[in-house]
Amino acid sequence: MTLGKNIGAAVLEAADRYRGRIAFSGPDGDLDYESFASLVAMLALLLRQHGVTRGDCVAVAVDEPREAIAAIAACSLLGAAWAPEYGLTSRSIADHVTHTLIAPGPRKSDRVIAGKAIIFDLHPVSAIDAMAVLNAEKPDGFSDGSNMSRLGASSGTTGEKKAIYVSVEDEWARITWVSAATPRNQRFTSMCLFRSDSGVGANTRIRTLLSGGVNIERAGPLVLARKEISQTVGSPEQYTKLFASMHNAGVERQLPLALVGGARPGEVFMNAMRKHFERITVFYGSTELGSVAEYTIAADESYDGRLEPINNLADVQIVDDEHRPVSDGTIGRVRIRGKHGMPHYIDDDIANSKSFRNGWFFPGDLGRIDDLGFLHIEGRSNDTANLGGVKMDMLRYDDFIQNFSGIEDGYCFVKADEFGVDRLFFILRFAEGSDIGKTVIDLLQNMQSESWFNAGPTAIYASREVPRTETGKAIRQKASDLCAELSPILEKSGIA
């Protein structure tokens, strides 16, 4: 079996190279590389028995990281692309999925299914030497006509979920890229907080396998207290939850290295990160192009938001509204060009025309490049918010709120919490005589069924004043200040 750029073949070669080492470690025990390779082979045969072949696309509805990553590797061996389960709520993604691999367990009946359902049951293939069968029959792998490695679920620059084509070459470049901060020439353990069926979650775990490292599963305070962990990868929101669980469990420990997504984490959040990690690397990227810039912060450094472009993955430029490059220090629109193939949205010409122009991707960020060549992200270029890496179109939320029965006026705004992580809030003026509790519940239930819905509010405030300009535009900062003096009528725990 040749390596090429096939993820599955690469994982099997790594399993043979690191035979005897641990591949995954978690609450359910350890899984060594040889056993993981057998799991990949058995899943490849199971998928093939159910008709999966070159050019198909399999949604991975599997929760356990070791099983999800094995399924992704198995798809690659067969020349089939994979898609995340959470993307199936979008019709643009579900329409391109041919099969859904479903893990057994209590969640099975709640799964969203597209195409043909395949139950994760290895009993029919467990009695044979799956690896020997694969080596004898040679799985199809990819061809020039079936070059999609992953059908990503991207919220793009508008917040509406879209299907994004990620090629085999592009995915391979993302997986084989290693952060400058990651330990070299030694065995290391990696704890990834991103879900296994996300692009960064899958690629981080596969990258660890290719280097002979150990993936720590289902990270929690007890795992943190007992395990040696070389690096942790997550978003600000995921780290905030991790810190809270550590605090509640009484676990006090400083870990070696954190990789955190997000262009410029807030000061309060960074203070919490310094308390829990010896070194911190901030990385910036997108679902469309993966990581494109990073910076490792020294222990005594006052971080100013600088990021160093990853030149072997992408070019980054700052341009004006006419798409002309601007001089160093000038704030403009960020545009990115991948060096290993550019992705595109499938069956969405409008979104492609807005986000991809002349070979460049426009993520919707404002930024500048300083005289030392560092990239600084200064904010958003429109009313798109970024909540823990999930983009949302605030204008869609506003429009839905303002036209909902029982609400006279209202909109959404974003405000950082005590850890510096951005959260979503609603300010509403209810119609006279409306049932406030019922209206709020109906609003949220109806909103969640919309294709553009990516995040619910942390809290909802009722106010007779809904700040707007003379022309009717929302004044979000004023709304945030106003609500700071009010008590919410609803928080995530329920109606107040």
**Separation of alpha carbons 76 and 65, rounded Å:** 17
**Separation of alpha carbons 340 and 354, rounded Å:** 21
Q: What is the pLDDT of residues 5-20, one digit of tens each?
A: 789 999 999 999 999 9
Q: Which residues pair with 118 in a beta bridge?
A: 101
Tokens 């969203």 sit on residue: 112
Burial class (CB in 10 A: 0-12, 13-18, 19+), 469: exposed
266 versus 163: the higher-pLDDT residue is 163
Which has the minimum average pLDDT: 146-150, 154-158, 316-320, 490-494? Answer: 154-158
Give the residue-averaged pLDDT of 462-476: 77
Is there a contact between 335 and 360 (Cβ–Cβ < 8 Å)?
yes
How does strand 148-154 pair with strand 162-167? antiparallel
pTM: 0.77
| pLDDT exceeds 90 at position 268 | no
Closest C-alpha among 216, 186, 188 to residue 201: 216
Give the residue-averaged pLDDT of 192-196: 91
**Separation of alpha carbons 253 and 161, rounded Å:** 38
Which has the minimum average pLDDT: 116-120, 247-251, 409-413, 435-439? Answer: 247-251
Q: What is the pLDDT of residues 332-381, one digit of tens each?
A: 999 999 887 777 888 888 788 888 888 899 988 888 999 999 999 886 66
Other CB atoms within a 10 A radius of the CB of residue 137 amount to: 10
The amino acid at 475:
I
Q: What is the pLDDT of residues 387-406, one digit of tens each?
A: 877 777 787 888 889 878 89
pLDDT at res. 156: 55
The pLDDT mean for the chain works out to 85
Q: What is the pLDDT of residues 480-494, one digit of tens each?
A: 999 999 999 988 644
Q: What is the pLDDT of residues 204-217, one digit of tens each?
A: 999 999 999 999 98
Tokens found for residue 491: 């928080």
Percent of the chain residues topping a pLDDT of 90: 44
Burial class (CB in 10 A: 0-12, 13-18, 19+), 68: buried
Which has the minimum average pLDDT: 171-175, 217-221, 426-430, 442-446? Answer: 217-221
Is there a contact between 234 and 192 (Cβ–Cβ < 8 Å)?
yes
SS3 per residue for the chain: CCCCCCHHHHHHHHHHHCCCCEEEEECCEEEEHHHHHHHHHHHHHHHHHCCCCCCCEEEEECCCHHHHHHHHHHHHHCCCEEEEHHHHHCHHHHCCCCEEEECCCCCHHHCCCCCEEEECCCHHHHCCCHHHHHHHHCCCCCCCCCCEEEEEEECCCCCCCEEEEEEHHHHHHHHHCCCCCCCCCCCCEEEECCCCCCHHHHHHHHHHHHCCCEEECCCCHHHHHHCCCCEEEECHHHHHHHHHHHHHHCCCCCEEEEEEECCCCCHHHHHHHHHHEEEEEEEEEECCCEEEEEEEECCCCCCCCEEEECCCCEEEEEECCCCCECCCCCCEEEEEEECCCCCEECCCHHHHHHHEECCEECCCEEEEECCCCCEEEEEECCCEEEECCEEEEHHHHHHHHHCCCCEEEEEEEEEECCCCCEEEEEEEEECCCCCHHHHHHHHHHHHHCCCCCCCCCCEEEECCCCCECCCCCECHHHHHHHHCCCCCCEECCEEC
